[in-house]
Chain A
């Protein structure tokens, strides 16, 4: 079974600065997908960024980028120019390429952006 580990329960950053959230995972598969989801307080979870394991290039979405290290099974999220609206729980998630419906989530990291 796959596992996803987020070792930072809480983090904080000053507005406009950069922060990196860590995620490691364990799998024996070669084909899979990785995701970062954002869950603001009392609001729905939304997809921030996704990475296909077969792609070597790191995914980027505006201020959000990932550092995908396949051999190390590491998938960190970098948020640049942090904004107050980035305050949320961030979940790292894994999806097997062979069963493309089930997300396995980490426990999450609570990110607080301070003014």
Chain B
């Protein structure tokens, strides 16, 4: 069990550029989540997948954001035409199945700075 892995850990980009983050969940975890965390705030839910199906998207996820999990394993979160307000830490998490009895494991996060 290597934990949830996120890459890159840090990304600085110019406003208007596109960025992509990758998340590798714990092996065999069929649920994968994306959260966003800004300084001084708790994480906010963005979206989640069960296997390859994206089952819910928060209204925080504007049209510039897209997430995929093509084979039900790793996931990518792409932000197009980045804005300064996108600067945040993007957290990925995974769990085995549903139910709060199954612990949700978080990665270390990917920090995005838009300049």
- In the complex, besides A93-B42, A95-B100, A102-B56, 12 extra interface pairs with C-beta distance below 8 angstroms are A42-B108, A44-B107, A44-B109, A47-B104, A50-B100, A101-B48, A101-B55, A101-B56, A102-B48, A103-B104, A106-B42, A108-B41
Report if A107 contacts B (CB, 8 A): yes
8 Å CB interface, A29-63 against B: 33, 37, 42-47, 50, 52
User: Total interface residues on B, using CB and 8 Å?
Assistant: 25
Does the CB pair B100–A46 fall under 8 Å? no
Report if A104 contacts B (CB, 8 A): yes
List B contacts of A100 (CB < 8 A).
Answer: 98-100
Main DSSP-derived SS at the A contact region: strand
A44 to B100, CA, bound (A): 19
A53 to chain B, nearest CB (A): 10
Does the CB pair A102–B103 fall under 8 Å? no
Q: How many cross-chain pairs have Cβ atoms below 8 Å apart between A and B?
A: 53
Residues of A at under 8 Å CB distance from B? 4, 33, 37, 42-47, 50, 52, 91, 93, 95, 97, 100-108
Chain B CB within 10 Å, residue with most, of A44, A107, A108: A44
Does the CB pair B108–A105 fall under 8 Å? no
List B contacts of A33 (CB < 8 A).
Answer: 100
B67 to chain A, nearest CB (A): 14
A-B contact pairs, 17 of them (CB 8 A): A33-B100, A44-B106, A45-B43, A45-B106, A47-B103, A91-B42, A95-B100, A97-B100, A101-B48, A101-B56, A102-B48, A103-B35, A103-B43, A105-B42, A108-B40, A108-B41, A108-B42
Given contacts A44-B109, A101-B48, A102-B56, contact A107 B100 (CB under 8 A): no
List B contacts of A52 (CB < 8 A).
Answer: 100
A91 to B44, CA, bound (A): 12
